[in-house]
Amino acid sequence: MANSRGNKAADILEQTEKHSREVSALKKKLKATEEKLERTEQSLKSERSTKYKGPKGKRTKSKKTDYIRFVIPDVHGCKMHRPSVSAMLGDLESLNPKEIVILGDFLDCGGFLAQHHTLGYVEQSTYSFDQDVAAANDLLDSIQKVAPDAEIHFLEGNHEARIEKYCVTAALRNGAPNIEEEAEHLRMLYGTEYVLHLKKRNIKLYRQGKYYHNLGLPSTIKLGKCHFTHGCSTAMNAAKVHAERFGGNVVFGHTHRADSYHIRTISAGVIGAWNPGTLSVLQELYMHQNISNWSHGYGLQLVKSDGDFLHINVPIRDGKSHFVGITENLR
């Protein structure tokens, strides 16, 4: 009996020692694994810290050669929205731009010049061409008063083009022996540059009936790396259409809708098209019960010496622009 108990005790002791050796071996293996993991983590940390550093912040400093270009969209003379025009003029004075681009339809040229639709409401006949011209001249006076040193580029729009169409049509209807001479004589009486005294104002005019800067679209110019035109599309995605047709940066008006679109091209890289909106009333009577999706605003560009630029569509809502106030708080 005693002998049997001794053997059992010896077996238990042997099993205990065996388990102890196994545990010791496992601890050594675990320690080796932990040391290997630590070395791997250190190696990864070292690799990432030396080879995969993220970029540091780099502030683009402005230069004395940088300047501001101010873009004025469709105003439509007597149809201008006075509170929005007032807000635009306030920002214009504060920003003091070097260049101003007027995108066309500065005059409305309604009434007898609006041959594309029939006047259907008494309200549409409440102003004359002379009053329309007087409103446009008054606004040009204000623009040049608050930005006296700005170089101004004036693009004709489809509404100013009505004047030249009227002159040619009248010359044809009157049976003039020399249509060109008669039409030009009438244009000297009613043409944009004459009624708005653009030559006297030293404002550059780009007519709808002429080509400029070797570009294939009338009344279209290129300043630095950006084209400016009145507009060649009124599609819902007009900005997309302009970017694709121009194949370069372009600012346009015509649709009265604030809009922008960017696309990457193989030859020109990333390009954009922008429409700042309008400064005219937002619901014209000729639209009847069709609700417009027009909006007020203007365009602003910070231009670098190489022609590169940053474009911003600045909205004007309820006759107020908050752009200058915001930028002043950032200084």
Is the pLDDT at 251 greater than 60? The verdict is: yes
Record the tokens describing residue 279, joined without a space.
């400064």
The DSSP code sequence of 105-168 is --S---GGG-TTS---SGGGGSS-HHHHHHHHHHHHHHHHHHSTT-EEEEE--HHHHHHHHHHH
Record the tokens describing residue 20, joined without a space.
């102890």
User: In sequence order, what are the residues at sequence separation of 6 or more whose Cβ sits closer than 8 angstroms to the Cβ of residue 85?
Assistant: 75, 139, 279
Among 82, 100, 103, 321, which residue's Cα sits nearest to residue 206? 103
Range list of β-strands (E), the chain = 67-72, 99-102, 151-155, 204-206, 221-223, 226-229, 250-252, 259-265, 269-275, 296-303, 309-316
In this prediction, residues 174-203 reach a mean pLDDT of: 91
How far is residue 277's CA from residue 22's CA, in Å, rounded to a whole number?
Answer: 81
More confident residue, 255 or 34: 255
Q: Judge contact between 126 and 281, C-beta under 8 A.
A: no
Q: Judge contact between 255 and 218, C-beta under 8 A.
A: no
How far is residue 211's CA from residue 214's CA, in Å, rounded to a whole number?
Answer: 7
In this prediction, residues 77-100 reach a mean pLDDT of: 96
Q: What percent of the chain has pLDDT over 70?
A: 90
Q: Judge contact between 74 and 102, C-beta under 8 A.
A: no
In this prediction, residues 108-126 reach a mean pLDDT of: 66
In this prediction, residues 188-206 reach a mean pLDDT of: 96
Residue 267 burial (C-beta neighbours within 10 Å; 0-12, 13-18, 19+): exposed
How far is residue 292's CA from residue 270's CA, in Å, rounded to a whole number?
Answer: 31
Q: Give the model confidence (pLDDT) of 17-40 as tens digits.
A: 778 887 788 888 888 888 888 888
- To 10 degrees, the CA torsion angle through 63, 321, 243, 210? -90
Indicate the CATH number for domain 67-159+192-330. 3.60.21
Q: Give the model confidence (pLDDT) of 55-87 as tens digits.
A: 888 887 778 889 999 999 999 999 999 999 999
| The overall pTM is greater than 0.85 | no
In this prediction, residues 299-322 reach a mean pLDDT of: 95
Record the tokens describing residue 223, joined without a space.
């300043």
More confident residue, 207 or 39: 207
Measured CA to CA in angstroms, residue 269 lies from 248, 263, 266, 272, 302 at distances of 9, 8, 6, 10, 20
- To 10 degrees, the CA torsion angle through 182, 200, 281, 262? 100
Strand order in the sheet with 309-316: 204-206, 151-155, 99-102, 67-72, 296-303, 309-316
Record the tokens describing residue 323, joined without a space.
């752009």
| Strand 259-265 with 269-275, pairing | antiparallel
